[in-house]
Amino acid sequence: MEPIQSKISKLIDFLGNPENLPDETGEVTICQTHGSVLALADHHVYKVKKPVDFGFMDFTTLEKRQANARREIKLNRRLCSDTYLDAVTITEADDGSWRFGDGKGEIIDCAVRMKRLEDGFFLPQILKKGDDPNNMMEIISDRLMEFYGGQTGECKAEYGDISKIRQDCEGNFQAMEKLPEAVVHPVLLETVKSFTYTFLDRYATLFEERVREGKIQECHGDLHMDHIHYKDGRLCIFDCIEFNEAFRCIDIANDLAFLAMDLEHQGYIREAAHFTTLMAKGLKDEHLTTLMHFYKAYRACVRGKVHGLAGTDPSLPPEERRLNLDEAASFFQLAMQYACCGLPAALIFFGPAGSGKSTLAGRIGGLAGCPVLNSDVLRKELFSLPVDEPAPDSVKADLYSRETTDRVYNILIEKGLKYAKTHRTIILDATYANPDHRGETRLAFRSAAIDPLFIFVTAEEKMIHGRLSDRNKATRSVSDAREKDFDTLVAGYRDPDPGNYQGNLIEIDNSGDPEDAAQALLKTLTGKLFEKQKLKRGP
């Protein structure tokens, strides 16, 4: 039997030759997913399933691929009526040559033929142009509300069972465990697991209610930005899940979460919030927003898993595999943000010099893939100084003056608010020795509808002395604080009054191993999420 990779290579060569396609075309572009090969011609797209079996999708026989092609056309016509044209056969002649659907030779495969949608009008391209994104969200939400309203509710109830949802989550985690640590760090995986299982336990009765209320529908199943096209008043939402009924028969909240997550992944934070608000209001679904938060984390893991599979697919070119692994890592980082930060968030790390707050902030930022704005870096950039070298004594008076410090904290706020428009989680890292700077930061972010969470990092005095002493020997350090500054910077540091933070204050002891502190903080953040950020206990 011919090896699968050899079959796929032959299929790629066949589809990539313009002379082999049924319609006249110029150059053909070949695209691959882990389950399909697509040939993009001038006016049509031909999609052929690879003869693979991943468990959740099985295309190993001709009969399975033909049945899947028919199902793909039928289901996709629901939201993209005139794009999916037909299925055309591929035959093999006695001499071993392949050709499209002329009736001669043995039928060996089939392709779904689609109209090629015009470039420049896919949702990522539309939003990048900046053409009234709120209106685009309204167009999409109107169509989806009509779509869900037309469903019959005939999906099997078992697809909404919490044990099935838990099983799907566990399948994601098992796939994530097989990926390199650079793609899925164990601490990240543990944080997402903790959030997932806690949510399932707390909201068990809500998941049961969703089944009874008919919220499990035959949805799109793969509702992300690249699958939405809009031109001249015509909306096409294509490429739904056809190969696995269980992936398609899901809670409406699960379906919608995919698009909201993808919008946030690409930096459209406000658009995602607007879309979610529109759908919750339009569907009159009081639990939609809460459930979408859970499903966004789940969907980020699904998307990361898909890219992870592609990143380890030997049939793809090395550069394409590398890009897929990078994308997988970014989705898993987003899943971690959902797991510990809830709504779009600003994490404010503060504490005395030598407490290790910058190390901790950088560790959390690295795991979650979110920007970290450091006051020491901003201060030195103001004076065009190398950020990782000690400042010359000649400039220190100006560098650390009251006026410069006030300016640094204002820049920290300005940059933080700017980053918050395109990142759902940001980190600010500064000593914030003056409580007024904390108050100004809190007011600025709350005015932007972001409730900042302050993380007060402490450490034992002997540990702080040791860290400051180590800096005396270091040739590279962003901070200029040294052991001689202990009395000024540390002993006189005013601890925050918890009563001023309305529950948005976490204190973390960073006296020991920084990795232990990071894990303890992530666990606390996840607990804080359920306690504070609108994820209240279900019915």
Q: Write the pLDDT tens digit of every residue in 216-232.
A: 999 999 999 999 999 99
pLDDT at 342: 78
Distance CA 236, CA 245 (A): 22
Q: In what order do the strands lie in the sheet with 44-49?
A: 29-32, 36-40, 44-49, 106-115, 84-92, 98-100
pLDDT at 339 over 60: yes
Distance of CA 449 to the CA centre of its chain: 21
pLDDT at 5: 83
Residue 531: CB atoms within 10 A of its CB come to: 10
Weakest-pLDDT range from 194-208, 244-258, 309-323, 466-480: 466-480
pTM of model > 0.75: yes
Cβ-Cβ contacts under 8 Å for 93 (sequence gap 6 or more): 99, 104, 105
Average pLDDT over residues 348-375: 95
pLDDT at 468: 74
Helix (H/G/I), strand (E/B), else coil: 258: helix
pLDDT at 483: 64
**pLDDT band, residue 362 (cuts 50/70/90):** very high
pLDDT at 153: 59
pLDDT at 535 over 60: no
Look up residue 58 and give its two tokens.
């099985």
Average pLDDT over residues 344-369: 94
pLDDT at 486: 67
Give the closest residue to 316 by CA, choosing from 41, 39, 30, 51.
Answer: 30
Look up residue 267 and give its DSSP letter: T
Helix or strand run (H / E) with residue 129? helix 123-129
From residue 467, how far is each of 9, 359, 393, 463 by CA, in Å?
57, 12, 21, 6
pLDDT at 536 over 80: no
pLDDT at 539 over 50: no
Q: Are 11 and 37 in contact (CB under 8 A)?
A: yes
pLDDT at 480: 65
pLDDT at 1: 45
Query: Can you list the positions of beta strands (E) in 159-244?
Result: 216-218, 228-231, 234-237
Average pLDDT over residues 88-95: 91
Average pLDDT over residues 88-109: 88
pLDDT at 257: 98
pLDDT at 534 over 80: no
By CB atoms closer than 10 A (0-12, 13-18, 19+), residue 105 is middle
From residue 464, how far is each of 351, 485, 497, 512 by CA, in Å?
11, 11, 22, 11
Q: Are 6 and 12 in contact (CB under 8 A)?
A: no
pLDDT digits (tens, 9 = 90+) for 461-488: 888 877 777 776 666 778 766 667 667 7
Give the closest residue to 70 by CA, choosing from 60, 52, 81, 84.
Answer: 84
Average pLDDT over residues 30-48: 93
* ∠ CA 321-322-328, rounded to 5°: 90
Look up residue 456 and give its two tokens.
């007060």
Average pLDDT over residues 308-325: 89
pLDDT digits (tens, 9 = 90+) for 262-271: 999 999 999 9
Mean pLDDT, the chain, rounded, equals: 91
Helix (H/G/I), strand (E/B), else coil: 222: coil
pLDDT at 157: 79
Weakest-pLDDT range from 195-199, 364-368, 400-404, 535-539: 535-539
Distance CA 383, CA 105 (A): 76
Q: Which residue has the higher pLDDT, 424 or 56?
A: 424
Phi and psi angles of residue 478, each rounded to the nearest 5 degrees, phi first:
-70, -40
Distance CA 45, CA 8 (A): 18
* DSSP codes joined into one string, 52-81: -B-SS-B--SHHHHHHHHHHHHHHHTTTST
Look up residue 61 and give its two tokens.
């026989």
**pLDDT band, residue 240 (cuts 50/70/90):** very high
Weakest-pLDDT range from 123-127, 129-133, 408-412: 129-133
Average pLDDT over residues 21-39: 92
* ∠ CA 202-204-207, rounded to 5°: 125
Weakest-pLDDT range from 17-26, 163-172, 486-495: 486-495
pLDDT at 503: 86
